[in-house]
Structure 1
Amino acid sequence: MSWTRSRRTRLTAALGAATALALAGCGSSGSGGGSAGFITGKGGIATVPAGHRVDAPDISGTGLDGTGTLKLSDYRGKVVVLNVWGSWCSPCRAEAKGLQASAEKYADQVQFLGINTRDTDPANAVAFEKNFGVTYPSIYDPDGTQILKFPKGSLPPQSIPTTIVIDKDGKLAARAMRAMSTEDLDKMIEPVLAESK
């Protein structure tokens, strides 16, 4: 086997492992490392203290409804809940109604935004939203391009589903890499909202 072919094989294996990690979540939960400046509390929610947060990446893309471009930066000045999901993901289905209920509960204070990933046909994602009554917008990101924009050592989505809370200054404040209940979401959202008061 030539050196080039051997290198190509290693690269293919590395990409496969990265893809497996990204998809492993449909059921797994992760933890944050203290060296990255965040801590994981009870329930697997990683948080970053206000003075140590990094900027959220410039997430943008076409909305699932096909009309216009959605940009995370358009919501600067508001707390944002960013949920990474796929219509094929069982934990995503389990949390969908609770996310919608929380979006309604916090409608005046928090913007909910989804990133739909790994759905090769947007019709599947649209059907998912209709079935679960999801009304907040989602960016269609079938190949995971937007997910890969998260800086290393921050709070990147490493599994599906992942829910991230972004503070009003556009910084990554909290992350959970599992299906969320409304109570879990309250625990992530309320401390970040309290910073604005």
Structure 2
Amino acid sequence: MSAMTRPRPRVAAAAAATAAAAALALTGCSSTGSSGSGADQVGFVTVKGTNVSKAEPGHRQDAPDISGETLEGGQVKLSDYRGKVVVLNVWGSWCGPCRGEADDLERVWTKYKDQGVQFLGINTRDSEKTNAVRFEQEKGVTYPSIFDPAGTQLLKFPKGSLNPQSIPTTLIVDRDGKLAARAVGGTVDDALESILQPVVAEPKQ
């Protein structure tokens, strides 16, 4: 009997390790550094038990005017969309959770783009643009993405708003160009709408 029970702790440990790895894979491609929790420098308050943080009107910090060349070869900057609610998604073609959330992001973009909403991707750590372009083609992504392989644009964000090591991350920028919400890790359409819709519903200033 004792010989049969000896392997069980090892099996349990292996199962626990597998579960932990799976949880990490679901929340993001990297866990280096801190993505911030609770109240921080940009007014974000984490919604308990979720990967979502929100900042109420009057407690929001300006989003940086990121800019650059898109994967299609055009030029874009965040301020081009002032007056719209902007969904910024940081992603990489090498990132499994990014691939998992791409369909949901496209669905929400299609649903809201006629309601004063603009989606803008920030593609990072893809050394070859062709990999990122292929990702968009395979996933049917139709909104633009800035090609930012070195993470230069990510470093423009104020401390506490965006951890460049936590990919994917999705940020909501309100009509006044201020950071209103953040979701760290892969995002499904229902979760994204839960932070997007309230910002869309805010009265125009």
SS in 1 for 2:123: strand
Task: Output the CA distance in 1 between the equivalents of 2:79 and 2:62.
Answer: 11
Is residue 2:38 matched to residue 1:33? Answer: yes
CA shift at 1:107, angstroms?
1.1
Cα distance in 2 between the residues matched to 1:133 and 1:86: 15
**Amino acid of the structure 2 residue aligned with 1:115:** I
Q: 1:164-185 CA distances to partner (integer Å, 9 max, x unpaired)?
A: 0000000000001110000011
The structure with more radius of gyration: 2
In structure 2, how many angstroms separate the alpha carbons of the residues matched to 1:31 and 1:44?
A: 10
What is the RMSD computed on CA atoms of the aligned residues? 1.7
Instruction: Tell me the TM-score normalised to structure 1 length.
Output: 0.83
Residue 10 of structure 1: aligned partner: none
* TM-score normalised by L of structure 2: 0.80
Counterpart residue identity of residue 111, structure 1:
Q
Identical counterparts, % of pairs: 60
Contact map agreement 1:64 1:125 (CA 8 A) in 2: yes
Contact 1:157 1:177 in 2 (8 A): no
Task: Give the unaligned 5+ runs of structure 2.
Answer: 1-26
Partner of 2:107: 101
1:20-169 maps to which residues of 2 (within 5 A)? 25-26=28-29, 28=31, 30-36=35-41, 37-41=43-47, 42-66=49-73, 68-109=74-115, 110-153=117-160, 155-158=161-164, 159-169=166-176
Structure 1 unaligned residues grouped into runs of 5+: 1-23
One-letter identity of the residue aligned with 1:100: E
Cα distance in 2 between the residues matched to 1:40 and 1:152: 16
AA aligned to 1:121 is: E
Change (3 A) 1:58 1:35: closer
**CA distances 1:7-61 after superposition (whole Å, capped 9, x unpaired):** xxxxxxxxxxxxxxxxx94165944232433211042110001101011001000
TM-superposed deviation, 1:79: 0.2
